Amino acid sequence: MAEICGAEVDEEGFLVDLSDWNKEIAVEMAKGDDIELSEEHWDVINFLRDYFEEYQIAPAVRVLTKAIGKQFGKEKGNSKYLYSLFPYGPGKQGCRFAGLPKPTGCI
């Protein structure tokens, strides 16, 4: 199994033990995808982590976009904006950086 900053990740790059997460891991994961984490990235990552803590699951895309729009301005409340931050999808890539499990299903 591969490791990032000493934490085990699965074949898809998601943390095996979610409690391993720290900011360095997120930065390191983003580097692997040629992304430098900006303030805007962190806004999303922090929201994902908060939501996960409350509900034990990642938010639906619609919930995420609405929440981001409410908190950080309407122009950011759409999936195009989120995709510009996370080209592989806010759900999958965003969750990975945030140390959440990969969303599964017909999505």
Partner 1 sequence: MADDFEVPKLPTYLEIPKMNEGVMAGDGPFKSVEEFQTPLGFPGAKVDNWQEVAINKMGELKSKYRSVQVFLDACVKCGACTDKCHYFLGSSDPKNMPVARQDLFRSVYRRHFTFAGKYFPKLVGAKELDDAMLDDWYNYFHQCSQCRRCSVFCPYGIDTAEISMAAREVLDAVGIGQKYCNQILGKAITIGNNLGLPEPALRDTLLDLEEEIEEETGVAVKYPLDQKGAEILLITPSADFFAEPHIDGLIGYGKVFHQDGVSWTMSSYASEGANFGMFIGSYDIMRKAALRIRKAALDLEVSRVMVGECGHAWRVAYSFWNTLSGVGAGADISDEHAMKLQNQLDSRYPQPQHIIEYTHDLIQRNKLKFDKSANDDRTVTFHDSCNVARATNMGGIPNGQFILPREVIKAVCNNYVDMERSTIMESTFCCGGGGGLLTDDLMEIRIKGAMPRMQALKEVEKTDAVDTLVAICAICKSQFSKVLPKFDFDPYMIVSAHQLVSEAIIMDKPQTDDSEAEMPIEETITETVE
Residues that bind partner 1 (CB under 8 A): 11-12, 54-57, 59-63, 66, 79, 91-92, 103-107
- Which residues, in sequence order, are CB contacts of 64 under 8 Å at separation 6+? 44, 47, 48, 51, 82, 90
CB of 89 to partner 1, least distance (A): 9
CB of 44 to partner 1, least distance (A): 16
Nearer to partner 1, 22 or 71 (CB): 71
Cα–Cα dist 2/87, whole Å: 23
Cα–Cα dist 33/97, whole Å: 10
Nearer to partner 1, 23 or 31 (CB): 31
CB of 49 to partner 1, least distance (A): 15
Nearer to partner 1, 91 or 99 (CB): 91
- Which listed residue (12, 62, 105, 106) is catalytic? 106
Catalytic residue status for 106: yes
Distances (CA, A) of 95 to 18, 22, 41, 52, 74: 11, 13, 11, 10, 22
The residues assigned a catalytic role are 106
